[in-house]
Structures are given as structure tokens and as C-alpha cells.
Structure 1
Amino acid sequence: MPPPRSIQWAQLFALPEQPGLPLQGRLRAAVVQAILEDRLSPGAPLPSSRELATLLGLSRNTVTSAYLQLMDEGFLEARPRSGVFVAQNARPLSAEPAEPLVGRSGQSGQPPEWSARVRRSLIDRPTLAKPDRWRDYPYPFVYGTYDPQLFPTEDFRECCARSLARSQLPAWTPDFETDDVPELIEQIRTRLLPKRGVFALKEEILVTLGAQHAYYLLAEALFDENTRVGLEEPGHPHARNSFALRNPKWVEIGVDDDGLVVDALPAADYLFCTPSHQSPTTATLSLERRQWLLRKAELQDFVIIEDDYEAENLYEGTPMPALKSLDKTGRVIYVGSVSKSLSPALRLGFIVAPRALIKELRAIRHAMLRHPSAFLQQAYALFLSLGHHESHARRVNHAMQERLALAAQALRDHLPDFEFRLPSGGASIWVQAPSWVDAGELALMARQHGVLIEAGDVFFGKPPYPCPFFRLRLSSIPSAQIAAGIRALGVAVKDLAQARGESVSGGVPEH
């Protein structure tokens, strides 16, 4: 049996479960954590590299290299003929717990009442959300992760590695102030936008941290409590919430099978829409409606904010031109994303608008965060220039087309009374359950069967009850799991009917 001291060392330096890190990095992380948590105090001795290597089953070179780097970083120090010790100043001053302020009476002061101080809150507004540990559910029909089978690991790694080359450092390491990486602006201008029929000057493009950042910037610049903002009903909840911080006057615009209903538009100052694949119904706005909407914008003097949502994900038919491509009077603000099909976590998008507005937005962005990561901009510019973006989009489109077909067939097999229309593109299906089903209640019941769906009430400004609509998102679930997931959802429907004291057959309750 090993001596107690050796057991303690083995427990203290147990390597964290971070398979993305090499062994040396994981050992360094374990040592740093022990120091910052005060389990190793300044001046405490560490085991020799030979002893620790034996205890952890590592090579002595791995331990030695970890120790040397931690010495360079000021966490450890070597003492001649004595060994390795925790450095005296290893823990930063901020790591020490602060003493509470005490008044003259000896009583600690009362903390501020934050609920009374907050002037703009989104906590109570509905939004798309997933449960904790949602990745553990076997059937996640939700948005939120990259697809490990489709992610272009080698291509993206190549672009990141090239961007880290010494010759490339001057291209992205300086502070860009209000500017963006020129190479990315040029790739957006000459490679991405022309595919949508949009031609813009570099002064008309601003890089953002994804589409939601674009919504926030536009609301900050353009909206106040007197601004009338038109939104599709149902529509994009993230846009609604970002705009809500400015407390505008909402104008709900109806949606049908052909997208936004343009006839008899109510008066508005701005109108937000998703014409390529309407979020969430996936309907595509017809060319006739696009032209009529632009004419209405002139006649009624409003500005259109176009989110070209999932425009790249087209599986059949001819791509519909973006509203921005048809705009002759500068009334369309165009919001796009360059990273959504790769991974939602990359957070990289852009705004195309008249240069006077882009100049204002740059100043607001600078006050918030200066500019998005220049390294990421540089790496993604290279990703675009080498053609990786197009080849990845083709792979994603092929996979999504297969998943849509599988989901459609499973819905017909297991939920025959649930209505849907197979979209021409995108990565989701908008489903209408029988009128007795409330999708929010179904979503809770479905979790018990390992199924996650996006209940439809969050997409409405004024949701009905019961709300029979829900969205099945297919970007986070493997093809092999789709049929079983829809089958489990059918079981959840029967459980919901039983909980209400009704029997169900084929998705419809029997009375």
C-alpha cells in the first residue's frame, strides 16, 4: 500500500477531465487550481518530478515541462538542493477573500436592492432556453451546438494556425479601434453578399458578434419608447428581446404560408422580417410580396430590417433574391451571419447599411466592446478565401436535407394528425399539433422521454392558449436518432392526453 503522503499527492493532482488539453496542460491546470483554492499555500513543497510522474502514470519529461512552465508563470519556484515550492506571490491579491465593510456600530452594511435599481430587465421575458445538461438528452430537437460529424476541424484548424504564424500577427494583433479586419470585410463584400444579389462598399459593412449583437446595436441607435417597430407574429424571439430593451411600441404583422402578410400593413417606423426562411414557420416570402413590401416602405415611410435567416440552406428551387438586393432607395438594413452553419458559439455576423448609419453603429460598438476578436475575423477571412465556407455549406445542406426527410417521414408515421410543411431549406420544421395540445405542456412531458422540442409560445408576442405550435430543430441531433426521437415524442403526446384524463389515438383524443 502506498504511503499516505503519496495518496494525498495523487488526489491533489488528479488530472481534470479536459481531453482537449495535452497531459502537460492538464497537470498545470491541476497545480494552478490547488494553489488558487489555497490547498497549496505559498512556500509549500511539491513532490519531485520523478515521484509525481510515478504517482500519475506520466513521463518524467511531462512533469518537468509542466513545472518549468509554472515557474515561468510565477506559480512555482525552485530552491537549490531543496526542490520545487509554491512561489510566495503565487496567489494574486484578488484571490484573498475580502473583509466585509463594517460601520461604526459594528454592523455590516446592507447590500443594494438590485431589483429596485435595475432600469431595463429581460429576466421575465420569454426566450428560447434549454434545460441544464441538455446535451445529455438523447433526442435534442433544439438549436445550440455544432455537429461534430460535420464540423470542418482540419480546415478550421489550418486557418487558425496560419493566422498565428509570425508573418500574420501584424494583420490582427493591433487595436483596430472602430475598424474591422479588412480581409474579412473584403470576403463578405466580394464572396458572401454577391450570392444574395447584394453589392456593398466596404464603408457599408460592420462586423458584429452574431445577429443578436446586430439587433442590439440597431435598437440602441434607432429605437426609443415612441418608435413603432413591426414584428412578424409569430417571429424571432431574440430580435424581440433585443429590441425590447428600448421599450418601443410593438406592431404585430401577420404571417401565412407565404411569409409576411404585406397587404394592409399597419403604420410603423421600422419593420423586422426574416424573408428567406421565416423564423419560425420557415415560409419563404415570394418575389411579388418582396417587391410590394419595398413599395410599401416608400409609400408609408418605414425602414426594413432584414435578417437573411438561413439563406444559405437551400435544398430545392431557385434562391430568392434578398430584399436588400431589390432595394433602390436605401430603406433596407441587412443582417447576416457568417458562422451560424459552422458553430453558433463562434458569434460572427455583419450589418450592411448606408454608410452614415454604419458610422453611427461603429461608434456605439466601440463604446460596448471596441470590435469583435480580430484573430477570429482574420481566421474566418482565411476560411472564406480558401473556399472552406462553401464546401462546408454544401455538406451541411446535404445532411440537413437528409434529416428533414427523416423527420418528415417519422412525423407521418408516429404523429399523423400533426400538421407541417416540409421547408425548401433551413434546419427546422414548424409543427402544428391538434388544437387540444399545448406545446409548452408537451415539451415538459417530452423531457421525461428524453426529447427536447422548442415550444411555440416563445415565438409569439401574444401567444394563444393552448398554443399547439412547436419547432423541431435538426442541427443538434444525429440522423440515426431522429426516428426514435419522434416515436418517443408520440409517446409523450399519449401521456399528455392521459394526464388530462383522455385517451388518444393517432395524436387525437378520443371522447
Structure 2
Amino acid sequence: MGKIADLRQSDVAGRVTPPGGTDALFWGSLFHGLDRDGSFLQLQVRQMIVSAIEDGRLPLGARMPSSRDLAAVLKVSRNTIVIAYEQLVDQNFLVARERSGYFVAGLPRHIGATTHEPSPAVRDDDRWASRFALRPTAYRNIVKPLDWQAYPYPFIFGQFDPSLFPTNDWRESARAALSVPEINNWARDMIDGDDPALIEQLQLQVLPRRGIRARSDEIMITIGAQHALYLIAKLFIGPTTRIGVEEPGYPDARNIFGLLTPNVVPLRIDGEGLMPDADFESCALAYVTASHQCPTAVVMPLARRHALLQAARSCGVILIEDDYDGELIPEEGELPPLMSLDRGSNVLYVGSLSKALAPGLRLGYVVAPAPVIRELRALRRLMLRHPPLNNQRVAALFIGLGHYRSHLARVGDVLLERARILDGLLPRYLRHCTWSRGAGSTHYWLSCRPGTDTVKLAELARAEGVVIEPGDVFSMNESASRHCFRLGFSSIRTERIEAGIERLGKVIARVA
């Protein structure tokens, strides 16, 4: 095609247009990528025209094809194009001239010259490296394919199955949040506050499910549970603070703490979870996943929970409880979180709405004594003031309308069915492995034969369309759990589980 500038021709008024205004090849290329089977075709057309105007492919004065002609070229309804054109006229991207058609309207000139020169061949990483106060990229993190949904068998944790998302209920809540009175509620700046409606719904419907009662001044909203962990760490951890983390444990928590102190202490776990031993008692803080230990999925028994709380009280250890996976599956054996048992105000509780709905929503919360929440709010204000209030109000309406409770019931039934299926399939297809999954957990922790490299195993499995999570990243000593991997089942369709496990079993048989 060549550059668009080479294709322009002038009309009698001196305006520029693409050739003939209806050149099928030109307009077909301009709308390349239009998803005719997707939803909101009119929005797609508008977005593509706006992008073409902004980047200069449709210059000032260019004549647009008639709605009939463009509809024919794109093989869409003429009404779709008419609505798109009219909206773009209202937005001043196009102008309509009687008996002449639609033309690209004027836009403000860009300040400064726009260049598309390639980046220098030699990167200046070394120059910047000397300026960094921190190097977060040096830490080992959980790595998942960004395109995991393109794989037929995604056994990954912490993602969602789009077929289970409550689309209609969420839309109803979002529409309600866009009424004029609601906009007046969430469009203002709350400084360091949160939507009182969401705080109230957490108090009424979410926290009581976990046995927790809290006042409004003991709750704060965060942008996901990880944001909560970072704020807590920043508030409590100094350069010499000793903080204990489960070994193996959640790498992102370990990395957050490691940014602030070198004294990150690995704490032993056994078949009952975190052990309240001498190493635990020597810490100022300890991070714990009692409901489902990350990554082994072990459920901490009630007696161990009481022993841990007693040791924390006696030694002055603050417990950071991450209840990341606490209420998704209604299964016998679920126990109350540490905070609901705590009588000494030693527990800082971190929860998430994102895990139950979709991780992209980024909605978490902290429950802690009022003085702690007060300081966390002041710290959060310096970082981002508060999470978006429109999202908070949608979530509040979603919970208040009863959708959250019904969604949990539906998702819980589906996930429990998947767990039962996997309970039967693992002994059949993964005979070379052992595994654990506590009641209510949405993942399994599997151990292969010693010497198995699950990083390599994961690569081979992806080639077969199966995605798993290697276990090396969960241990401070990566070789300690390199023969293990995590198998989640919240993101894979139920009907695909057996075929995926069968394929995984064949790959493991080749390398184990």
C-alpha cells in the first residue's frame, strides 16, 4: 500500500482524501483487525477511526466513505456505521457537510516533533543500574504465561474461568453505579477514605462469613491483597526488623519483605502448617497462610491455630494473616481464620474480593486494630490516596444486591466438582507423584520424584497445551522444591480437566 500520504488526492476545496474516498483496499487495511463476530461493532469502528485520526493516517480534511459504502467494504450493518459517524461528529472528530459527506475535523497540534526513530542499538542499562536504590527485578517471582487463556489446559492458580464470571449481575451493579446520585457519591475525592457503602457490606456480608466482626475504623480497602501486604510491610518493617515467612511460602510476600530488611527468616512448616518454634518466637512479625498454606494447601488444625496465637501473644509476634483462598469452596474441614480466634489484637488480616470474582478487579482489604488502620490510611494517601471509588461502589452494590452470596454458592459448587474429579484422576494419571490439598483449597501441591526439574517439566507441558506452576520459586533455596509444582483448577473448564491431566501424566512419565 505504501504510505497514506502517497495515496492522497485533492478535491476542489483543497482538502485531502484517500483515493476516491471509497477505495476498498485502503479502507480494508485501515480497519484491519475488526472483529465482526465480537460485540460492540460500532465501538470498534469508532475506536479505529479515532486512532487513525490521532496518528495521522486520516489527515485533516480527509473525506470518509459514505455509510453505505463503508458498511459494504467492512461487511457490517449500515446502521452500525451511521451510529459511529454521528457519535464522532458529536465528539468533533468528524464534521458532516450537507450533500458532501463526512470529513475529518481539526485537532489540536501536538507540541513538539513526533519521531518514530528506532531506539539506540546499545542500551544504557548499566548507567541506570548505578542510580537504582532497589532492584526488584533481581527477585524471583511466580511467572505465568500472559496468554494463558490461549492454552487448552491452564492448571494455574489465582486466575478465573470466564464462564463463571457473573456478567449480568456485575453489569446490573455497574449500571446502578452510573446513576446521577451514585456518580455524585463516588466522583469526589475521599482523601484517605473509602466508600462507606463497601465498608458496610464487608461488615454485613463478607467478614461474618469468616467469623470476623470489625468496626468501620478497623477496615481499609486496598488495590488487591498484595497492595495490602506492601502497605503493612512499609508500616512495620525497618532495616533490622526480623520477619518470618513460611518455607516454602508465597514468593511475592517474601520479596516485599526482602525489599525492606535483610532479616527475612524462613519458618518451618509441617503437615499442620506453620510451626510456633524458636525461630518463630524470635521474629517481630510473621507472615502466615493458615486457611490454606501457600503453596502446600495444608489446612492448619484448630489446636495449631491456638498454639500459634498463644506463642504470638507470649513473644510479641505480630501475625500477618493472608486469607487468600478462604471461602471459595464449601467443603467440610474449613476452619475459622486466626483473626476470628485472636483475643490479643496480634493479627493483621488481609482479604481479597478479587479471588472470588476476577483478579483484574484488584479489590482487597485489611482488617486490623483502629490505630493500625489509621496509620495505613495515612501511608496509602501518600501512595495513591484511595482505590478508585467507582469500582468500590460497583462492588458494594454487587454485594448489597445479593449477587456476591449467590455467586460464591455457584462457584463453590463448580470448584468442588472439579476437586472431586481431580481426586479421582490424579491417582490414575499421575502415579509418579504425591500431592496434598486441604479442604476448601483451589489448588494441589504435587511432588515428583527427587531430581525432577519441574521448570523443564513445565516447558514440556506447555508444548502439549498444559500450563502448570513450577515449585522452585516458592522456596528461599530454590532447589528445595524444584521437584514440586502447583496445580490450580479455578481457571480450567471442567470438561477439559481429564484430557489435560492425561497429557500432563504422559509428560511426567517421560521426565520423572
Q: TM-score, normalised by structure 1?
A: 0.89
Mapping of residues 84-483 of structure 1, within 5 Å: 84-89=102-107, 92-93=110-111, 96-97=114-115, 113-266=127-280, 267-464=282-479, 467-483=482-498
Letter in 2 for 1:212: Q
Partner of 1:505: none
Of residues 20, 24, 35 in structure 1, which corresponds to 2:42? 24
Paired residue secondary structure (1:336): strand
Q: CA deviation at 1:99?
A: 9.5
Letter in 1 for 2:48: A
- After superposition, what is the alpha-carbon deviation per residue over 1:411-432, rounded to whole angstroms, capped at 9, x for unaligned? 1011223111342112101111
CA distance in 2, matches of 1:203, 1:436: 51
Letter in 2 for 1:288: A
Q: CA deviation at 1:15?
A: 5.7
Closer, same or farther: CA 70–97 of 1 in aligned 2, 3 Å: farther
Give ranges in structure 2 of 5+ residues lacking alignment: 1-19, 119-123
CA distance in 1, matches of 2:114, 2:98: 30
Closer, same or farther: CA 6–313 of 1 in aligned 2, 3 Å: closer
Q: How many residues align?
A: 488
- After superposition, what is the alpha-carbon deviation per residue over 1:292-345, rounded to whole angstroms, capped at 9, x for unaligned? 111211221121101112110344325422211222221110101122111111
Paired residue secondary structure (1:38): coil
Asked if the contact 2:232–2:376 (Cα under 8 Å) also holds between the matched residues in 1, the reply is yes
Let me know the Cα RMSD of the aligned residues: 2.5
Give ranges in structure 1 of 5+ residues lacking alignment: 101-109, 498-511
Identity %: 42
CA distance in 1, matches of 2:74, 2:238: 60
Closer, same or farther: CA 207–466 of 1 in aligned 2, 3 Å: closer
Of residues 72, 75, 80 in structure 1, which corresponds to 2:93? 75
Paired residue secondary structure (1:402): helix
Partner of 2:13: none
Q: CA deviation at 1:271?
A: 0.3
CA distance in 2, matches of 1:137, 1:471: 17
Are 2:75 and 1:57 equivalent residues in the alignment?
Answer: yes
Asked if the contact 1:15–1:30 (Cα under 8 Å) also holds between the matched residues in 2, the reply is no
Q: CA deviation at 1:231?
A: 0.3
Of residues 62, 66, 70 in structure 2, which corresponds to 1:44? 62
CA distance in 1, matches of 2:506, 2:33: 42
Letter in 2 for 1:75: F
Closer, same or farther: CA 268–403 of 1 in aligned 2, 3 Å: same
Q: CA deviation at 1:56?
A: 2.2
Asked if the contact 2:201–2:399 (Cα under 8 Å) also holds between the matched residues in 1, the reply is yes
Asked if the contact 1:197–1:325 (Cα under 8 Å) also holds between the matched residues in 2, the reply is yes
Q: CA deviation at 1:132?
A: 4.5
Q: CA deviation at 1:18?
A: 8.0
Letter in 2 for 1:153: T
Q: CA deviation at 1:260?
A: 0.9
- After superposition, what is the alpha-carbon deviation per residue over 1:267-290, rounded to whole angstroms, capped at 9, x for unaligned? 111100010111111111121111
Q: CA deviation at 1:30?
A: 1.5
Asked if the contact 1:253–1:265 (Cα under 8 Å) also holds between the matched residues in 2, the reply is yes
Q: CA deviation at 1:487?
A: 1.3
- After superposition, what is the alpha-carbon deviation per residue over 1:19-49, rounded to whole angstroms, capped at 9, x for unaligned? 6642211111111121223211222222222
Closer, same or farther: CA 87–404 of 1 in aligned 2, 3 Å: same
Asked if the contact 1:304–1:331 (Cα under 8 Å) also holds between the matched residues in 2, the reply is yes
CA distance in 2, matches of 1:19, 1:189: 43
Asked if the contact 1:76–1:90 (Cα under 8 Å) also holds between the matched residues in 2, the reply is no
Asked if the contact 1:437–1:466 (Cα under 8 Å) also holds between the matched residues in 2, the reply is no
Greater shift, 273-282 or 122-131, is seen at: 122-131
CA distance in 2, matches of 1:96, 1:422: 56
CA distance in 1, matches of 2:135, 2:153: 32
CA distance in 2, matches of 1:157, 1:95: 42
CA distance in 1, matches of 2:109, 2:506: 55
Closer, same or farther: CA 377–4 of 1 in aligned 2, 3 Å: closer
Q: CA deviation at 1:216?
A: 1.0
Asked if the contact 2:210–2:336 (Cα under 8 Å) also holds between the matched residues in 1, the reply is yes
Asked if the contact 1:18–1:26 (Cα under 8 Å) also holds between the matched residues in 2, the reply is no
- After superposition, what is the alpha-carbon deviation per residue over 1:368-400, rounded to whole angstroms, capped at 9, x for unaligned? 222111111111111111221111111111111
Letter in 2 for 1:491: K
Q: CA deviation at 1:433?
A: 1.1
CA distance in 2, matches of 1:479, 1:91: 53
Q: CA deviation at 1:122?
A: 1.8
Asked if the contact 2:324–2:355 (Cα under 8 Å) also holds between the matched residues in 1, the reply is no
Q: CA deviation at 1:486?
A: 1.5
Paired residue secondary structure (1:310): coil
Closer, same or farther: CA 442–205 of 1 in aligned 2, 3 Å: same
Closer, same or farther: CA 195–95 of 1 in aligned 2, 3 Å: farther
CA distance in 2, matches of 1:443, 1:434: 15
Asked if the contact 2:21–2:65 (Cα under 8 Å) also holds between the matched residues in 1, the reply is no
Partner of 1:509: none
CA distance in 2, matches of 1:200, 1:20: 45
Closer, same or farther: CA 384–4 of 1 in aligned 2, 3 Å: closer
Asked if the contact 1:260–1:273 (Cα under 8 Å) also holds between the matched residues in 2, the reply is yes
CA distance in 1, matches of 2:481, 2:355: 32
Are 2:502 and 1:484 equivalent residues in the alignment?
Answer: no
CA distance in 2, matches of 1:95, 1:280: 52
Q: CA deviation at 1:462?
A: 1.6
Partner of 2:4: none
Asked if the contact 2:249–2:475 (Cα under 8 Å) also holds between the matched residues in 1, the reply is yes
